[in-house]
């Protein structure tokens, strides 16, 4: 499947795809943050048949339903202050290997290289959660570590494994 990136001057960017069943879908990322899901007319693939506006959290939840994607948001301000350190926010998607499991379960054998230093749950900050703290769908784990450590932690949350030479 090919993803088309279409600039919409004054509006934002549209990413459009055509499925194997020849249905055309698009996502318009507006400059102010709103996203529109677009279903195009099958007879005229340039005309929108239906548009659904999504708030940021709704777009993330829809992405979870479709693919179980793990999103990693970098905290650039902190990274710029400390060379070699990466600070990220990792949203726990529905169906994640982390959902319902403690930080200890995620890091068997005391993995180091990255640490969850806080969790944001329902808009409330949980600073320095202990190893028994159980993550839930829609939590945002705030983690700090080196690039490799963050990659390993993200893979553990997604339920996949990664390897790197020399590690």
- Quick one: which of 20, 22, 16 has its CA closest to 3? 16
Give the Cβ contact number of residue 128 at 10 Å. Answer: 10
Q: Phi and psi at residue 73, in whole multiples of 5°? A: -105, 120
Among 1-10, 19-28, 41-50, 63-72, the range scoring the smallest mean pLDDT is 63-72
Ranges of each domain in the chain: 4-54, 71-158
Domain 71-158 has CATH 3.30.70.1450: yes
pLDDT digits (tens, 9 = 90+) for 14-51: 989 888 888 899 999 888 878 999 999 988 888 999 99
Global pTM reads 0.53
Q: Output the pLDDT for position 81.
A: 57
CA of 30: how far to CAs of 3, 9, 12, 80, 119, in Å? 17, 10, 4, 27, 28
Question: Could you tell me the two tokens for 167?
Answer: 């590690």
- Quick one: which of 160, 156, 122, 153 has its CA closest to 140? 122
Cα 121–84–161 angle (5° rounding)?
A: 60
Which residues, 6 or more positions from 121, have their beta carbon under 8 angstroms from its beta carbon?
A: 136, 138, 139, 140
- Whole-number Å distance between alpha carbons of 153 and 165: 17
């Amino acid at each position: 499947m090919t993803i088309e990136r279409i600039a919409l001057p004054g509006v934002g960017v549209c990413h459009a795809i055509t499925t194997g069943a020849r249905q055309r879908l698009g996502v318009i990322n507006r400059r102010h943050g709103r996203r529109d899901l677009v279903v195009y007319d099958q007879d005229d693939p340039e005309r929108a048949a239906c548009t659904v506006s999504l708030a940021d959290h709704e777009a993330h939840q829809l992405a979870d339903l479709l693919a179980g994607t793990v999103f990693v948001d970098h905290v650039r301000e902190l990274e710029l202050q400390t060379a070699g350190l990466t600070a990220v926010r990792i949203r726990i998607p529905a169906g994640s290997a982390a959902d319902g499991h403690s930080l200890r379960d995620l890091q068997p054998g005391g993995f180091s290289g990255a640490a969850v230093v806080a969790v944001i749950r329902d808009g409330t900050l949980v600073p320095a959660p202990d190893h028994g703290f159980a993550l839930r769908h829609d939590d945002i784990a705030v983690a700090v570590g080196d690039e490799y450590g963050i990659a390993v932690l993200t893979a553990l949350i997604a339920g996949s494994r990664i390897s790197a030479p020399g590690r």
